[in-house]
Amino acid sequence: MSDITRINPGARMSQASIHNGMIYLSGQVGTRGASTAQQTRDMLDKVDAILQANGSSKSRILQAVVWLSDIADFAEMNAVYDAWIDPENPPCRACGEARLASAELKVEIIVTAALG
Amino acid sequence: MSDITRINPGARMSQASIHNGMIYLSGQVGTRGASTAQQTRDMLDKVDAILQANGSSKSRILQAVVWLSDIADFAEMNAVYDAWIDPENPPCRACGEARLASAELKVEIIVTAALG
Amino acid sequence: MSDITRINPGARMSQASIHNGMIYLSGQVGTRGASTAQQTRDMLDKVDAILQANGSSKSRILQAVVWLSDIADFAEMNAVYDAWIDPENPPCRACGEARLASAELKVEIIVTAALG
């Protein structure tokens, strides 16, 4: 049995990979065409769901990288993001602009967290 | 002796760093000026070579971040990428647009993998 | 007591997170409005300070991702970066273009390092 567990493996990627007490997530996005705030909510709901289903949580995130398709949405994304994090355990974060796989996607997050 | 092994260290970066059962790669690119499909092939060949030379493989990749200099090349890159991954072990992945060190570079990948 | 230590936690992020012998940094930037060379120096000074305050150092960096708001600044950033790294221990690195949180920011770095 492998020491790497693939969560929801697909033809292109797994939703998450678990190894040695760590969980690595694929880029998570929200609902195409929705507002930046709504896409941020959707995206963070997905992160919560994946982490909780696999024995981690947002309180255990070590590093998050956020991409915005338009950096002008920085404040709109942060209003949702800042309310979401565990204030006792703020993850490390970086945020930059990158156009995403679909023009209807406004935000994407890459998460690395500890299990447990 | 250090517990960090640097693979092909250069004046700017090492090709890979090994520590505690993990291998971290520098951004890998293909042949400048070639098509996106060809650059993707070249880049993934380099990833294979580095991982295999150091006791890992594409089946052990935990997380990959792909940058395209033009997100319009998404489908062309994916046609090569999807055929390359180990279908039994799809790595986590995120893909966004970022212009690269040279205007002749169309795609770059950052890989984190487990040894063993 | 948690097995994750948050360094300088704020309302949005921690400056660094420590877990299982590793230290993960938030994106570090320099002084807004300064030249790319100066912002690179400032940013790397911050990386040095954070790593040294927490039992690591630039010689223990495993992976660094550099974002430039304008890839035309690649050579200017590298002149500072190349002189900064420990030539005995060059970290892995990738560099791409991404507009940053403020139009006055020219460069940002995301660092993952080993403690010890």
> How much of chain B, in percent, has pLDDT values that exceed 70?
99
Chain B contact for A115, CB < 8 A? no
Residue B2 has what pLDDT? 79
Whether the Cβ atoms of residue A22 and residue A114 lie closer than 8 Å to each other:
yes
Q: Report DSSP letters for C12-56, one per residue.
A: S--SEEEETTEEEE--EE--TTS-HHHHHHHHHHHHHHHHHHTT-
Which residues of chain C does A58 touch, with a Cβ-Cβ cutoff of 8 Å?
none
User: Taking 60 as the threshold, does the pLDDT of residue A7 lie above it?
Assistant: yes
Residue A33: other Cβ atoms inside 10 A:
12
Considering only the beta carbons, identify the residue of C90, C95, C116 that sits closest to B101: C95
Does A89 contact C at CB distance below 8 Å? yes
Residues on chain C touching A65 (C-beta within 8 angstroms) = 110
What confidence tens digit (pLDDT) does each residue in B11-37 have?
Answer: 999 999 999 999 999 999 999 999 999
Are A81 and C12 a contacting pair at CB < 8 A? yes
Q: Is the pLDDT of residue B1 over 60?
A: no
Phi-psi region of C88 (alpha: psi -120 to 50; beta: other; left: phi over 0): alpha
What is the pLDDT at residue C19?
98
Note the pLDDT tens digit of each residue in B64-85.
999 999 999 999 999 999 999 9
Q: Could you give the dihedral angle defined by the CA atoms of residues C34, C37, C40 and C41, in that order, rounded to the nearest 10 degrees?
A: -90
Asked if A92 lies within 8 A of C16 by C-beta distance, the reply is: yes
**Burial state string for C14-36 with b = 16 or more CB within 10 A and e = fewer than 16:** bbbbbbeebbbbbbbbbeeeeeb
In whole angstroms, give the CA distance from residue B22 to residue B41: 24
For residue C7, count CB atoms less than 10 angstroms from its CB and return exposed for 0-12, middle for 13-18, buried for 19 or more: middle
CATH no. of C5-114: 3.30.1330.40
Q: What is the mean pLDDT of residues A43-68?
A: 98
What average pLDDT does the segment A88-97 reach? 98
Give the Cα separation of C108 and C40 in Å (integer): 8
Q: CB distance C81–B27 less than 8 Å?
A: no
Give domain limits for chain B: 4-114
Chains contacting C with at least 3 CB pairs below 8 Å? A, B
Nearest chain C residue to A74 by CA distance is: C101
C83 touches chain A (CB under 8 A): no
Q: Which residues contact A82 (CB under 8 A, 6 or more apart)?
A: C11, C12
CB contact under 8 A, C92 and B4: no
Subunits that touch chain B (at least 3 Cβ pairs < 8 angstroms)?
Answer: A, C
Residue C12 to residue A78, Cβ atoms within 8 A: yes
Residue C57 with chain B: CB contacts under 8 Å: none
Fold of B4-114: 60s Ribosomal Protein L30; Chain: A; (3.30.1330)
Question: Residue B82: left if φ>0, alpha if ψ -120 to 50, beta else—which one?
Answer: alpha
Mean pLDDT, consecutive 10-residue stretches, chain C (116 aa), reads: 91 98 98 98 98 98 98 98 98 98 97 97
Q: Is C96 exposed, middle or buried (0-12, 13-18, 19+ CB in 10 A)?
A: buried
**Which three-class secondary structure string do you get for chain B?**
CCCEEEEEECCCCEEEEEECCEEEECCEECCCCCCHHHHHHHHHHHHHHHHHHCCCCHHHEEEEEEEECCHHHHHHHHHHHHHHCCCCCCCEEEEEECCCCCCCCCEEEEEEEECC
ipTM of the complex: 0.97
| Interatomic CA distance for residues B93 and C111, integer angstroms | 19
**Nearest-10 crossing angle of helices B74-84, B36-53:** 30
CB-CB under 8 Å, C96 with B108 = yes
Confidence bin at A2 (pLDDT 50/70/90): confident
Residue type, A30: G
Tell me which residues of chain A, numbers 41 to 80, contact chain C at a CB-CB cutoff of 8 Å.
60, 62-63, 65, 67, 71, 74, 78
Take residue C39 and report the two structure tokens written for it: 């912002």
pLDDT of residue C22: 98
Is the Cβ pair C65, B110 closer than 8 Å? yes
Contacts of C7 (CB under 8 A, 6+ apart): C14, C15, C16, C17, C18, C50, C53, C54
State mean pLDDT over A40-69: 98
At the topology level, CATH places domain A26-111 in: 60s Ribosomal Protein L30; Chain: A; (3.30.1330)
Q: Long-range contacts made by residues C35-39, C-beta under 8 angstroms, separation at least 24?
A: C35/C76, C35/C106, C36/C68, C36/C73, C36/C76, C36/C77, C36/C106, C36/C107, C37/C76, C37/C77, C37/C79, C37/C80, C39/C105, C39/C106, C39/C107
